[in-house]
Amino acid sequence: MSENLSIVYVIFAFFSLGATLGLFTRGQKYHTYFTYVPSAFASFLTIVLSIAIFSSENIHLTFFNIQHLFDFEIFIDGVAAFFLLIIGLISFAVSIYSLSYSKKFDDKKNNSALGMLFNVFIISMILVVISNNVFFFLVFWELMSLTSFFLVIYEHENKNNLKSGLTYLVMAHLGTGFIFASFILMYTQTGSFSFDSFRDVAIIPQYIKDIAFVLAFVGFGTKAGMVPLHTWLPKAHPSAPSNVSALMSAVMLKIAIYGIVRYLFDFNAIDSSPDYVWLGVGIIAIGSISALVGILYALVENDIKRALAFSSIENVGIIFIGLGLSVVFAAFHLMSLSVLAFIASMFHTLNHSIFKGLLFMTAGSIHFSTHTKNMEDLGGLIKKMPWTAMMFLIGSIAIIGLPPLNGFIGEWLTLQSLLAVFQIPSNILQVSLAFAILTFALTIGLAGATFVRLFGITFLSKSRSSKAINAVEVPRLMLIGKAILASSCVLLGILPFIGINLIVSAFDLSYTPSSPFEAISITNTVDSNFASLLMSGVLVIFISVLVGIFAFVRIVGGKTKTIKYGTWDCGFGSLSEKTQYTATSLTEPIRRIFGIFYKPNNDIDVNFYAKENLYLKKSINVISTTRNIFDEKLYGKVISGSLFVLDKIRKIQSGKVNAYILYIMITLIALLLFVGFGTHE
Amino acid sequence: MSDFSILGYGLGILQALLIIVLSPLIVGIMRKIKAKSQKRIGSGIFQPYCDIIKLLRKDEIVSDQSSWIFRATPWINFVTTASAAFFIPVFLVYSPFGVVGDILLVVGLFALGRFFTMLAGLDVASSFGGLGSSREMMISVLVEPALFMTIFVIASFYGGTNISTIVSSANDTSILIVPGILFALIAFFIIMMAETGKLPFDNPSTHLELTMIHEAMVLEYSGKSLALMEWSHAIKQMILFTLFIDIFFPWNFAEQISLVGISFGIIIFIVKVSTLASFTAFIETRIAKWRLFRVSDLIAMAISSSMIGVIFFFL
């Protein structure tokens, strides 16, 4: 216990060191090393700490005790340690990546601020996870929101970044407001700001817990990017420098998931009674909608980082589906299925951190080397940046849930828990949850299309602009950062029990850990094998089939030549980078089918040589646009509505002193009346 | 059921090999039937084998625009589809490799192959490849929900996504004609036509690249690579046919390992799969290719059919 505690101190010391050195070594030759080496080391220690917590006891400590409001309590249990592991792993890889990546800003601007904020951002996330008191939780939560806000507007020369930063700031505080309300509500019942009192089952009446949970869910959900409160996410995440986008998407969203998990399973927001079915179904519904909407907009986005941000919304949706199922199963006392759904959800949380961190770093590498994020300007990068392409390919295969990588395990577990809904003893629920399968399947399909497009247009075929032609492979340190996460994808995919055992021990689930080489196996009601999966076995089959077919082709086919020649052009000989498919044209059929979400519009402008002759066309201009109906229909209305109300309120502020004195008078009288009536009762 | 002897595994490998080896034959039979119903003589049913061997011996032309993705795709495609064959019971009621993976893994393996095929279509920088990928993308997106709903119906009825569990409990069930399964059958049949690129979704034998889907993506392939692509497409079709008869017509499987049982099982399997192939080929000659944007209606039919299956199951 004491060693673990000293690790905590060392972690803070190193992050602070990184932050300070970052600020004071401005302009030095090796300043990136001064900033990011301490953060890498501290992140590594965070991984060590979380693994130490899994195997030993929890840390529970109160630091100072001024009033009960300001107790600084830290509590690191398995739940916190699991999220610390996520923070540590991603921050470690991103820190190494940043060593080279932050050189991108060397000439242009104050690089030291980036380093400092980077360190403070990570430390604030760690502090949110380990604090055990409302006051400090909110302080660190706010610190996390503000540092990330400053990081979002780091490249403030671009006006769009400022705009998205503002959206982020408003939405983040909306979320914080809900969390705050929820905590205050809990406080009114327990009379204590410590989370320990929230854990007490007996004190708080259940309906208060319900309201508090819904408030907290909205608050944390805003931070996690659930639809319809997601609008800030695809704006803010891509605006930040890519190392920070990686942290925001891969880690910060998970801090919000942490909040929801704490509420659900630690503060006993739910109970094993059918009263909680609505809660679970609600979470599943929001999760399904988030998943579908997120991936639908990711599919038509031409900015790589924005597409990745939209896909984060999708993955948060999948995590929510798992969590919701876990609640529904628990409500019907199907405890083993509840555990299965919970493992699925947490496994996907871990997975998403890994591959989204990887993908954002790769997107950053593309930007680093080509100075553009627009897919229509890219292409052919696989020849220029082979290693980056490999990493992006691994990340893509993982995120769309294809075997044999970790994404497949997460989605397999989620699907298995969805398929198990036939065990729920309620017909209406079964049929309505079948719709969740429908949306989930559609999401998987669309995710596949999204990443075919992202990888295919960016890395394959001919380069579409000089930016892509002049691209070179990124420095080695950036590749190492990505390789750490790419290899975790492979490892967790082939030996999924490493992840599952981790989750089981972190959350203290009633499930016996197995050896990594065993099959994941689910039995049905009559105890025969419902489903099982052994990824190392799949790998063995892969290799043996490959060896077999290779031998067959060599024996039957013999030695043949391979000739390089131009792509078949029907004999016209005019293939250029303009004749190949573009990012926009690739999704044309899907855009048409899901037209209600996109409202696709083609503006065709034809110029003729002569007005009389409509056959000789000089030029044809097509502008193809899609629209975001959420931004337009929902937020447009909300914004115009609130502007209208605010405009009315502004009339109160007349600027005349006597009017203000009148307001003070009215307030005073109102207060006096309030106090007077209050004492009577 | 749990016979993990060397014999058991050997039979498992034999089942997979049957699918892999017989798959070109089914293609040949289907072509013959199509030719016959169009009043042509057509080539012999063993022609696909000759094609594959001929192609394997030919030199290859690779586009100078392409990358390693283009050259790796045929191998990846073959490995994923042929690996999927290991999980499908053919003449036994189970597959000894059943513990390794279930029907979701098979779907995932197909998706992995398709992912790389779509990338290969984009890799060569020709518009035909992009065209094929774009359409394949659309169909695969739409087929996915139908497929998972059908799997949901089947898994709920037979208590598992493990194919061995499904087949053995389907084999034990005396009543097969229940409404839920019947609707799942309709949905699965439509999915099968879509996944294997049959009419009215795709017409692989057309002479116009603009109307192709699968063939447009593999247009640039030649020699060994083309042989592997064609063969893996044939294997995929064979796997889907086998799954279809495994799930919906699970009669006369060998439940015990005996020479008579197995040889009887193999014969029954070949009869069943050729009947299904003939039926599919016959249907194909009766319909024309649909307009691309009408295809979504057909898939919507599959989705609603499987949804009705779900409702029937729960009623």
Q: Is the pLDDT of residue A67 over 90?
A: no
Strands A529-533 and A59-62: unpaired
φ, ψ dihedrals at A267, nearest 5°: -90, 15
Mutate to test the interface with A, among B51, B122, B123 (most CBs of A within 10 A): B122
Among A43-47, A229-233, A521-525, B117-121, the minimum mean pLDDT is found in A521-525
**pLDDT of A160 over the 90 cut:** no
Give the pLDDT confidence score for residue B77 in this predicted structure.
94
Strands B60-63 and A562-565: parallel
Chain A residue with the nearest C-alpha to that of B101: A533
> Poorest-confidence range of A284-288, A293-297, A423-427, A515-519?
A515-519
pLDDT higher than 90, residue A583:
no
SS (H, E, C) A467-535: HHHCCCCCCHHHHHHHHHHHHHHHHHHHCCHHHHHHHHHHHCCCCCCCCCCCCEEEECCCCCEEEEECH
Q: Note whether B220 and B66 are within 8 A (CB).
A: yes
**pLDDT the model gives residue B1:** 41
What pLDDT band is residue B159 in, cutting at 50, 70 and 90? confident
**CA-angle at A97, arms to A94 and A100, nearest 5°:** 145
On the CB side of A618, how many CA atoms lie within 13 Å of its CA? Answer: 7
What is the rounded distance in angstroms from the CA atom of residue A582 to the CA atom of residue A374? 11
Q: How far is CA B275 from CA A106, A355, B92, B156, B270, in A?
A: 70, 46, 19, 28, 8
Query: How large is the average pLDDT for residues B236-263?
Result: 84
- Among the residue ranges A352-356, B1-5, B25-29, the one predicted with the least confidence is B1-5
Q: Is B50 on the interface with A (CB under 8 A)?
A: no
Contact A524 B64 (CB under 8 A): no
Residues of B in contact with A446 (CB under 8 A): 141
Selected residue with higher pLDDT from B172 and B154 = B154
Question: Chain A within 8 Å of B47 (Cβ-Cβ)?
Answer: no
What's residue A104's pLDDT?
A: 80
Chain A residues touching residue B79 (CB < 8 angstroms): 542, 545-546, 549
Token pair in block for residue A69: 């409001």
Residue B285: predicted pLDDT: 86
| Cβ neighbours of A442 in B, within 8 Å | 141, 144-145
> Is residue A525 over pLDDT 80?
no
Q: Report the phi/psi class of residue A346: left, alpha or beta, with left for phi > 0 and alpha for psi in -120 to 50.
A: alpha
Cβ–Cβ of A446/B141 closer than 8 Å? yes
pLDDT of residue A108: 65
Closest by CA to A365, choosing from A400, A338, A390, is: A390
Average per-residue pLDDT in chain B?
87
pLDDT beyond 60 at A516: no
Confidence category of residue A321, pLDDT binned at 50, 70, 90:
very high
- A421 DSSP assignment: G
Answer whether the bond into residue A425 is a cis peptide, omega within 30°.
no
Range of weakest confidence among A140-149, A195-204, A374-383, A619-628: A195-204
pLDDT for res B3: 47
Mean pLDDT of B67-91: 92
Size of interface A-B (CB pairs under 8 A): 279
For residue A622, pLDDT over 70 is answered with yes
**ipTM of this model?**
0.93
pLDDT digits (tens, 9 = 90+) for A348-371: 999 999 999 999 999 999 999 998
Query: Is residue A470's pLDDT more than 90?
Result: no
> B118 and A585 in contact by Cβ < 8 A?
no
A56 pLDDT higher than 90: no
What's the pLDDT at A145? 93
In whole angstroms, give the CA distance from residue A123 to residue A118. 9
Q: How far apart are alpha carbons A506 and A514 in whole angstroms?
A: 15
Asked if the Cβ–Cβ distance from A431 to B220 is below 8 Å, we say no
Give the nearest chain A residue to B154 (CA atoms). Answer: A419
Q: What CA–CA distances, in Å, run from A603 to A583, A606, B1?
A: 17, 10, 63
Mean pLDDT of chain A: 86
Lowest-pLDDT range of A375-379, A598-602, B51-55, B141-145: A598-602
For the segment B16-36, the average pLDDT, to the nearest whole number, is 91
Cα–Cα distance, A347 to A349 (Å, whole number): 5
CB contact under 8 A, B148 and A448: no
Closest residue of chain B to A561, computed from CA coordinates: B59
The per-residue pLDDT for A515 is 60
The whole-number pLDDT of residue A506 equals 85
Residue B2 has pLDDT above 50, yes or no: no
- List, as ranges, residues 285-304 from B with C-beta within 8 Å of A: 292-293, 296, 303
Q: How far apart are alpha carbons B164 and A513 in whole angstroms?
A: 26
A525 vs B contacts (CB less than 8 Å):
159
Q: Which of A408, A434, A575 sits opposite B125 (nearest CB)?
A: A575
Helical residues (DSSP H) of A102-194, grouped into ranges: 111-130, 134-152, 159-190
A121 neighbors A247 (Cβ within 8 angstroms):
yes
Lowest mean pLDDT among A91-105, A252-266, A279-293, B197-211: B197-211
Band of pLDDT at residue A78, cut at 50, 70 and 90? confident
Q: Is B104 on the interface with A (CB under 8 A)?
A: yes
Tell me the C-alpha to C-alpha distance, in Å, between residue A256 and each of A219, A262, A263, A341, B289. 9, 10, 11, 19, 50
Report pLDDT digits (tens) over A634-657. Answer: 888 888 888 889 888 888 887 788
Does a cis peptide bond (omega within 30 degrees of 0) precede residue A404? yes
Q: What is the mean pLDDT of residues A235-263?
A: 91
* H or E stretch covering A621: strand A617-625
CA quadruple A110, A113, A119, A122: dihedral, nearest 10: -110
pLDDT at A523: 67
Interface test with B, best of A292, A299, A402 (most B CBs within 10 A): A402
Amino acid symbol at A432: S
User: What is the pTM for the complete model shown?
Assistant: 0.92
